[in-house]
Structure 1
Amino acid sequence: MRSQLLLGVNIDHVATLRQARYRTMLGAHNVEPSILQAALEAEAAGAQSITIHLRADRRHIVDEDVYLLRKKIGTKMNLEMGNTPEILAIALEVKPDFVCMVPENREEVTTEGGLDVVGQKELLRASVSQLEANGTRVSMFIDPDLDQIRASAEIGASMVELHTGTFANEQGKKRTQEAARLKAAAELGHSLGLQINAGHGLTVANLPELFIVPHLAELNIGHSIVARSVFVGMRQAIAEFRAVMDTYTRP
């Protein structure tokens, strides 16, 4: 069955570029690039959601971005966040359409690996319950591990986002093996009633090899789109992804 694979565009690294110069002067009139303009360009190109990660160290997205985008974008907001009281309180106030719970390590360059839902079930269950009751659907960003899939369903999450970083970083036989792990995880998650999303390290070059994974609903892609947009612009970069994504066939 052919149905559109949705695209969430992560614009964190537009903010990374902004913060390289304007971290301490975000109120200045000449601050660029505009995080809002990036979101609107992504929407105009067909993004179904805008993804931002409000990290504890505020290294790229800052609180003002979250509130501004919630007011101004026309599509859905996906807020990535660590399970901390401070960020949870912001999420409950802002009421994003989606929250994706992710692990955070202050020393990492970007998110490395999936969240340990199995080891944090009760803490995560409490946050998921608050967010879902507040009108926000919650996803767990997890490695394609069957125990993590089961735990995500047990704590009441609506979705999982399968971490595709290992798949993206490998080649040949190892990539094929990781794709098989992703396939098994997607099949189990779907059987448990979870929406299956995926993201991390995806490019137009490696996407076709991911498409053995069934039941994919949405891909969240950031770095590759922002990197490509330096040369061709946001709309063209997204169009190139969409051309590949539109070949995906669900079982």
Structure 2
Amino acid sequence: MARLGVNIDHVATLRQARGGTDPDPLTAAILVELAGADGLVVHLREDRRHIQDRDLTMLREIVRTKLDLEMAADDAMAKIALSIKPDLVTLVPERRQELTTEGGLDVANHRDRIQKIVDLLRDGGIPTSLFVEPSLDQIKAAHKIGAAYVELHTGRYSNAKRSKEEDEEFEAITQAAKLAYKLGLGVNAGHGLTYKNVKRLAKLPEIVEFNIGHSIIARSVMVGLVQAVREMKELVA
């Protein structure tokens, strides 16, 4: 049975749009857990466009399931992570001008830099997940540097316009998940997943967790956050 991690970044995005205090990501976190989610995901960006440092500190105090901190692979972020002690750090690529994370880490070609952060976090008692494309080379590289998990980037699968394209991306995710599992890595998946396209991936036994944000928060505008989380939880489980 796969777990569901709910990304609440866009609750903070809405708050920051007016520069006020509502809606509160902390209240959202409580509702998400009450709805049965298995964890919370937040991305602390360099430009602090949504989640703020105070949010992260307070979330660490109230989250009772699992707190997954997405962050860039750099020393400044690693220092914050070592102070906060999330249950998992997911290293992601980050560009200031992007609307959302646009692709996976190139672990194979930036091994030394990523290795440094993985080692630093592991020595501090924090396991790491690497957000990567469903590429066999990237899976092998993630294994070599000692990551505990990979999170397979499902963006191309989610954005496929034709069934053939979706089938090709599904096959790439399938093979990447199988290799990661064989190498002893935990396998998560996320990016762009919706209530419709997650069903197919939920059948892959190697994927232990789906991390989903935008579609759940968008659905919650219509039906409420608790109901939106429960609907997605049923699909992935």
| TM-score normalized by the length of structure 1 | 0.92
Distance 2:12 2:49 in 1: 9
| Aligned AA (1:151) | A
Would the aligned equivalents of 1:12 and 1:60 in 2 still touch at CA under 8 Å? yes
Structure 2: 5+ residue stretches without partners: none
Partner of residue 8, structure 2: 11
Would the aligned equivalents of 1:202 and 1:224 in 2 still touch at CA under 8 Å? yes
Deviations 1:82-102 (Å, cap 9, x if unpaired)?
012211100011110000000
Would the aligned equivalents of 2:202 and 2:235 in 1 still touch at CA under 8 Å? no
Partner of residue 222, structure 1: 213
Distance 2:81 2:164 in 1: 41
Distance 1:74 1:212 in 2: 27
| 1:117 corresponds to 2:114 | no
Q: Residue 144 of structure 1: SS of its match in structure 2? A: coil
Structure 1: 5+ residue stretches without partners: 247-251
Would the aligned equivalents of 2:129 and 2:151 in 1 still touch at CA under 8 Å? yes
Cα deviation for residue 196 of structure 1 reads: 0.4
Partner of residue 186, structure 2: 195
Aligned CA RMSD, in angstroms, stands at 1.0
| Aligned AA (1:225) | I
Q: Residue 208 of structure 2: SS of its match in structure 1? A: strand
| Aligned AA (1:238) | V
Partner of residue 54, structure 2: 64
Partner of residue 81, structure 2: 91
| 1:176 corresponds to 2:167 | yes
Deviations 1:187-221 (Å, cap 9, x if unpaired)?
11011110000000111111122245340100000
Distance 1:208 1:221 in 2: 13
Distance 1:186 1:245 in 2: 16
| Aligned AA (1:224) | S
Would the aligned equivalents of 1:78 and 1:98 in 2 still touch at CA under 8 Å? yes
| Aligned AA (2:212) | I
Would the aligned equivalents of 1:179 and 1:213 in 2 still touch at CA under 8 Å? no
| Aligned AA (2:178) | E
Q: Residue 197 of structure 1: SS of its match in structure 2? A: strand
Would the aligned equivalents of 1:183 and 1:214 in 2 still touch at CA under 8 Å? no
1:13-92 mapped onto 2 (5 Å cutoff): 13-22=10-19, 31-92=21-82
Among the aligned pairs, what percent are the same residue? Answer: 49
| 1:154 corresponds to 2:151 | no
Cα deviation for residue 158 of structure 1 reads: 0.2
Q: Residue 235 of structure 1: SS of its match in structure 2? A: helix
Q: 1:176–1:211: structure 2 CA closer, same or farther, 3 Å change rule? A: farther
Partner of residue 105, structure 1: 95
Partner of residue 134, structure 1: 124
| Aligned AA (2:185) | L
Q: Residue 14 of structure 1: SS of its match in structure 2? A: helix
Deviations 1:154-207 (Å, cap 9, x if unpaired)?
000000000001000003110011000000000110111100000001111111
- Tell me which stretches of 4 or more aligned residues in structure 1 moved more than 6 Å: none
| TM-score normalized by the length of structure 2 | 0.97
Aligned residues: 236
Distance 2:122 2:174 in 1: 27
Would the aligned equivalents of 1:128 and 1:138 in 2 still touch at CA under 8 Å? yes
Would the aligned equivalents of 2:60 and 2:67 in 1 still touch at CA under 8 Å? yes
